[in-house]
Amino acid sequence: MQLLVSAININEAKEAKEGGADILDVKNPKEGSLGANFPWIIKEISDYADNKIIVSTTIGDVPYKPGTVSLAALGSAVSGSNYVKVGLYGTKNYDEALDVMNAVVKTIKDYNKNITVVSCGYADAYKIGSVLPEEIPRVAKDSNSDIAMLDTYIKDGHRLTDHMTTQQLEEFVQKSHDYGLKVALAGSVNKTDVTMLKRINCDIMGVRGCVCTHGDRNNGTINRELVQDLKDNI
């Protein structure tokens, strides 16, 4: 299982890398769960990574606007991302989510077929009216995305496992794997979840808060010792 750590700037990216992260994720928590960061920040982190570590970028908790989202995805790719993550927030069902992801995949693969596209849904979709998590593997498969992912949208202390049972998460992983997709799981997960995530064959564990000082995803900063401790547990 790989460890993805979400950084907001170059200093945090360095801490994540030195701590042993497998994937440097670039996001902006001020703009939401999968809030998009700025092109120059992505480029700075990509230049630092120098193709020696994967750079992933969130492009936002996106609306149901395939054209707008496609342009954001292309901006992420041009800025140096290896992975482009799309938070399917404004898509209310499978059809809308597929429209968005079809447009993103075409845009990204036309630009560079080696860039990985991530279809990301929310475990708490039932609270926000977004496409349900059980639809995400099919959306990812039918759009030719590479990874199916779940996160949580509302960051109020509730975790991935508060919204979905272990059995539901295992079914999500199994369905995605049956479709030939990798799986990333996030949403306030921490080292107490490592055993469960490995048991259900999760491919990528995504974190931020648990490797930040004071466990605070918004006001804390990534600490390499906390990253190393989590990596050691994995």
CB atoms within 10 A of CB 178: 10
Asked if 101 and 140 touch (Cβ cutoff 8 Å), the reply is yes
DSSP state of 50: T
Quickly list H helices, the chain: 10-19, 39-49, 66-78, 94-111, 125-128, 136-142, 160-163, 166-178, 194-199, 224-233
Catalytic residue selected from 14, 17, 27, 182: 27
Strand partners, 121: 150
Q: Output the furthest CA–CA distance in the chain (Å, rounded).
A: 43
Cα gap 88→227, rounded to integer Å: 28
Question: Among this protein's residues, is 85 annotated catalytic?
Answer: yes
Tokens 């996106």 appear where?
62
Cα gap 127→184, rounded to integer Å: 21
Question: Among this protein's residues, is 198 annotated catalytic?
Answer: no
Catalytic residue selected from 43, 65, 85, 113: 85
Residues known to be catalytic? 27, 85
